[in-house]
Amino acid sequence: MASRWANDEVDKAEELRRKREKEEKKRLKLQKQQEAEEAARPAKRRRLSTGDENDQVPQTQEQESERKLLRFDGGSWGPCRHTSNFETLNHIEEGSYGWVSRAREVSTSEVVALKKVKMDYNQDGFPITALREISILQKARHINIVDLKEILSGDDPQECVLVMEFLEHDLKTLQEDMSEPFMASEVKTLLRQLVGAVGFLHDNYIMHRDLKTSNILLNNRGQLKLADFGMARYIPPSNAPLTQLVVTLWYRAPELLLGTTTYGTEVDMWSIGCIFAELLAKEPVLQGKNEVDELSLIFSLCGLPSEKSWPGFYRLPNAKSLKMPRDHRNAPGFNRAKFPFLTAAGVDLLFSLLSLNPEHRPTSKEVLGHSYFKEQPKPKPSEMFPTFPSKAGQERRRKKSPHAPKRGEAPGLKNVDFSSIFATREAEEKGAGFQLKMA
């Protein structure tokens, strides 16, 4: 029963006012929350104009102060350029794994070297030698290593051409045309650049495995660059079997000739020793006709191996078939008479590089720190090097030399007699008298 003093209209009005105040408080509270969330959000991106002035939105202060992100070109996939972008000028040489030509880029007139990859084993897929060469040249960026610019494709889907920088000379052809060998200061400059490039490869766990003078290029500014990485590969784990069919015969280490399948960077250091001797003599010093003849020349120059000088020599696969002299313990050692103008420090360096025992050969860092480079005459600055007419520009090589070994089975050695290897050593040691030569 309602009270007689109750006023229903007044009560209803009061209740409605309180309800409106409560709703107004909720609305204000929600509005504050929304404003706080908008203030915490990042500034909106600028709206791109569509060309209509009416659609342009005025820029706010927050949009003007938006930071710009740094963007770096990470590379992208794209098709190779065609060989038609280059004009072939002349053929330079054919090697075991490709043809090398001199060419000019049509758009820039830059002269480059083109190496067309041989597809002799295309049934096995793309040649592994070309894959290794491309992979290593892309990573081996050094002042004394030839620069790989790009890869070209031809009309044939199997055609692959490498574009590399062109250098005017290679050491082999250059020495054939020189009337006199390089001077001592020039030999030191060339050898130091070569060892620096090989040391860079070894520091990055890469073996070249085909060092020779025809693979060493030289420009008219006295800068040497190492080329032809067709037989190069990364150094595998220890005791991993490797092929012995590496390195051109005249520059092949004795352990490879004796059939070892476990070797390392020492085979490159032996090749450097052969190149060092060739720079001094102006011709290869170990020009063997085959593996047996090559071993005979090595032993006549460096002496015969023994269990003391080379432990484990007789355990090599091909060493059991060798017949050594009975008194080989007293056999002469390194034949210094081959290099009459070389100093004592130079003989010491050459003897260590041509050590029969791979463990006795120095590393590239040890070679660069040798006293041979510190004595007079000092290495000649590359800017002072003489210039020569380029044979790679028009002419082919005139003298033939052995190519790098190809895939297949390695030849073995059977019943080889080295008993009379030092028969003519006494006549060699007499020499040709005393001579003077400008350094």
Q: Dihedral sign, CA of 36, 39, 44, 49?
A: positive
Q: Report the alpha-carbon distance of residue 213 to residue 251 in Å, rounded.
A: 10
Do residues 84 and 154 touch, judged by C-beta distance below 8 A?
no
Do residues 437 and 342 touch, judged by C-beta distance below 8 A?
no
Amino acid at site 239:
N
Q: Which residues contact 46 (CB under 8 A, 6 or more apart)?
A: 59, 63, 66
Residue pointed to by tokens 């510190």: 374
Based on the residue annotation, tell me whether 348 is a catalytic residue of this protein.
no
* DSSP characters over 329-364: GG-----GGG-TT--HHHHHHHHHHT-SSGGGSPPH
Which residue, 235, 224, 75, is CA-closest to 142? 224
Backbone angles phi, psi at 400, to 5 degrees: -90, 150
Selecting among 210, 228, 268, 417, the annotated active-site residue is 210
Q: Which residues contact 55 (CB under 8 A, 6 or more apart)?
A: 49
Q: Report the alpha-carbon distance of residue 277 to residue 282 in Å, rounded.
A: 8
Which residue, 128, 136, 262, 279, is CA-closest to 202? 136
Instruction: Please give the structure tokens belonging to residue 94.
Output: 């054919």
Secondary element (H or E) of residue 416: strand 416-417
Q: Which residues contact 30 (CB under 8 A, 6 or more apart)?
A: none
Residue pointed to by tokens 């109750």: 6
- The CA distances from residue 251 to 24, 59, 192, 272, in Å, are 96, 73, 19, 8
Q: How many CB atoms lie within 10 A of CB 395?
A: 13
Tell me whether the omega of the peptide bond preceding residue 386 falls within 30 degrees of 0, making it cis.
no
* Catalytic center residues: 210
